[in-house]
Amino acid sequence: MGRESLDVVHARNVGATGLSVHVPHGFVGFDLAVEVELIVTLPRSQPFLSRGVIKYVRLYFIRIKNSHRDAVERYVHSRTS
């Protein structure tokens, strides 16, 4: 994760404000203050592009369309119902 790198990671604890990710190699050499670009893929939904910043090993969405946030909320609701 970060500039000049690409990682495919699986999200945990998905919510409308962000998600947790596990990065197997850790964050060695990664500037945690930098924004990252990510592609979010939810079941039964088209992938979408967002940007985020890593805080406490949780990524918070800082630029996400309302329709995409709604899709995340529907996904979370479907997992908790």
* Positions of E strands within the chain: 11-15, 18-21, 35-40, 48-55, 58-63
Q: How far apart are CA 3 and CA 12, in angstroms?
A: 22
Q: Is residue 3 assigned to a domain? A: no
Query: Closest by alpha carbon to 19, among 67, 45, 43, 53?
Result: 53
pLDDT at position 42 is 84
Query: Closest by alpha carbon to 23, among 59, 75, 48, 50?
Result: 59
Residues 30-80: tens digit of each pLDDT: 666 778 888 888 888 898 988 887 666 667 888 999 999 999 989 888 887
Q: Is residue 26 assigned to a domain? A: yes
Q: Is residue 16 assigned to a domain? A: yes
* Number of domains into which the chain is organized: 1
Query: What domain range includes position 58?
Result: 11-80
Q: Is residue 5 assigned to a domain? A: no
